[in-house]
Structure 1
Amino acid sequence: MYFFFSGALLSVSSAQTRQFYFVNTPLNWRDAQSVCRQNYTDLATIENTADVDAAIVALSNYTGKAWIGLHDDIVNSWRWSLSDSSFYGDGESTYWNWYPGEPNNYDGQQLCVHFYGAVNDLWDNYCSVEYSFVCYTGELPFRFY
């Protein structure tokens, strides 16, 4: 399987139950979500510290901001992009490691979430801002036995 993104750098990391893919093509949150859904499972869902570590590895040496799948849908407040509740274990759909003072929903319009490549804290931001992003698959990574 091949993925082509104009000017993109693609990096892969895996956690216990999923693989994370960093796409170094700046897009707004909705367009990033669309790319992830077309080529992977969705924008990254960070359910625990192991996922944080795996997502950071996927970011490699990238130190900028990257979109992940957390967003505020206004109706149900903060939730992950992947809406299939059967995918999540106990408490996993509400694992959020906010930076102190976040989310602040500045101007009532910061409804999407990013994190820095070397930092595991989450920040809310305007969905229209263009950042690189992290996708994932819900598939088990290939293992040699």
Structure 2
Amino acid sequence: MLNHTAVLFFVLLTGSHYGSLAGSEDLEIQNPWDNLFQIQNPWDNLSTLLKNIPKKTEFPPPKFRLIGSRYFYIEQQIEQNWTTAASTCRQMGGYLAAIKDEEEAQAIIARLSPFVFYYVGINDHEIKRSFVSLASGKPAFLKWSKGEPDYVFHDQNCVSIFNFNDNDEGLMLGPCSNKHNFICQADVEI
């Protein structure tokens, strides 16, 4: 009896997968195990990997706080290079942040530790001096610190925000390999 039950289960399982055999000459029958063990290409680039990180369904993501009209997370303890910071923000359910206007900039700066660099999601990787948001690809709001942007080094493409605590807070351009704290945003508005 047990053998008949196992055979009946197998017939039902394969029948539900393959459907009716009527008109089977038009059906392309595939083995259900063919796609089970596909392996992801290990050479995917960073942007592909960032896109493949599952989006969290909770909004705002945990640890993000309302600052002005948008949700942000400000990392105060861990320093990372720009690319790693971008990946960390994606894993948290957001994006490396871009600021939309002066009011939002002031609200964020008020929450930053003085004399500490924080990466934001603004860069000019594509076209030099054309600064865009990593999240949206749109031109970003720019309030530069005095003397910025200053291309002292050839690999300066990433933007950070710095609070000098003496009315000279603003954006600064630097190498993406430097390690700084960072700010994430929960949306793709900017």
TM-score (norm 2): 0.57
CA drift at 1:68: 0.6
Q: Would you say 1:97 and 2:146 are equivalent positions?
A: no
Amino acid at match of 1:130: K
Q: Which has the larger radius of gyration?
A: 2
Matched, 1:68 2:120: yes
User: Is there any run of 5+ residues in structure 2 with no aligned partner, and where?
Assistant: 1-57
Gap regions ≥5 residues in structure 1? 4-9, 86-92, 140-145
Identity of aligned residues (%): 26
The RMSD of aligned alpha carbons is 2.5
Name the CA shift for 1:83/1:44 in 2 (closer, same or farther; >3 Å).
same
Q: Distance in 2 between matches of 1:20 and 1:11?
A: 5
User: In 2, distance between residues paired with 1:13 and 1:65?
Assistant: 21
Larger proportion of strand: 1
Aligned counterpart in structure 2 of residue 42 of structure 1, from 76, 90, 95 = 95
Q: Does 1:19 align with 2:65?
A: no
Specify the code of the residue in structure 1 equivalent to 2:73: Y
> Any conservation in 1 of the 2:98–2:141 contact (CA below 8 Å)?
no
* Structure 2 counterpart of 1:138: 187
Distance 1:11 1:75 in 2: 31
The structural deviation recorded for 1:84 is 5.3
Instruction: Report whether the alignment pairs 1:127 with 2:179.
Output: no
After superposing on structure 2, the runs of 4+ consecutive aligned residues of structure 1 that deviate more than 6 Å are: none
How has the CA–CA distance of structure 1 residues 84 and 74 changed in structure 2, closer, same or farther, with 3 Å as cutoff? closer
Shift of 1:14: 1.6
* 2: CA distance, partners of 1:13 / 1:81: 20
2:99–2:140 CA contact under 8 A, matched in 1: no
SS in 2 for 1:94: coil
The verdict on how the C-alpha distance between 1:57 and 1:21 changes in structure 2, with shifts beyond 3 A counting, is farther
1:78 maps to amino acid? F
Instruction: Figure out how many residues of one structure are paired with residues of the other and give that number.
Output: 124
SS of the aligned residue for 1:108 comes to coil
The correspondence of residues 108-123 of structure 1 with structure 2, limited to 5 A, is 108-117=154-163, 118=165, 120-123=169-172
* CA displacement at 1:137 relative to structure 2: 1.0
